[in-house]
Amino acid sequence: MLTRVRTIGHTLSNRTFWWDRARPVDADIHPLRAVIFDLDAMADSRREPKAGLVDLVMDLFVAGVWVGVVSTRDRQWAEASVRQLVGEGLVETLVTADDVAEPGNDVYDVELFRLALWELGIGPHAALAFAATGPRLRAAVAAGLPVQARSCYDGLRTEDCQKLHRRWWIVHKRAG
């Protein structure tokens, strides 16, 4: 039996200590706790749910990831639309024009997303947003959220949302 013998004062060259190692780039990334949809990003032009939306919302609900919705319309219209699109009881919070102080300006769109985060009790680091229009995409980014625009949600599952969230934070950490 051959064994490797070290001499006194000589250590193996490939040995490292924890303080010598670089931290992984994703060490500080928070887990995904919520997905916030712009109501317009949930429906197609006929006000029907986009392909795959119901499956995604159900998958998020079962996985314990909260679903939030923001809308620039009034609460009564938004509640009816959410019920029609995804059903009852799957959305954790709904933030509408009725909830924000000054509807109608750019700051207002940002406040919709910030209020949704506040109602969920999380920061933007733990959420992902889906928005339909340029102004809402910019508003979500201004609120600090990773955001994406999608024409459909076919095949998108909780794991995919977690990967999107993680990748967005890695890219923005490296950039900034």
> Which one, of 7, 2, 68, 3, lies nearest residue 39 by Cα?
68
State the Cα–Cα distance between residues 129 and 169, nearest whole angstrom: 13
> Which one, of 55, 69, 48, lies nearest residue 136 by Cα?
69
Give a yes or no: residue 4 inside a domain: no
Q: pLDDT per residue over 122-156, tens digit each?
A: 999 999 999 988 899 999 999 999 999 998 999 99
Give a yes or no: residue 24 inside a domain: no
Percent of the chain with pLDDT over 90: 65
Give a yes or no: residue 26 inside a domain: no
State the Cα–Cα distance between residues 112 and 135, nearest whole angstrom: 12
Give a yes or no: residue 16 inside a domain: no
Give a yes or no: residue 111 inside a domain: yes
CA atoms 39, 43, 46, 49: torsion sign: negative
Q: pLDDT per residue over 61-103, tens digit each?
A: 999 999 999 999 999 999 999 999 999 999 999 999 899 877 6
Give a yes or no: residue 107 inside a domain: yes
Give a yes or no: residue 114 inside a domain: yes
Residue spans of alpha helices (H) in 87-157: 106-120, 134-142
Number of domains in the chain: 1
Here the CATH number for the domain that contains residue 109 is: 3.40.50.1000
Asked if pLDDT for residue 25 goes beyond 60, the answer is: no
Asked if pLDDT for residue 160 goes beyond 60, the answer is: yes
Instruction: Supply the range of the domain harboring residue 103.
Output: 34-174
State the Cα–Cα distance between residues 6 and 8, nearest whole angstrom: 7
The answer to whether the beta carbons of residues 74 and 96 sit under 8 Å apart is yes
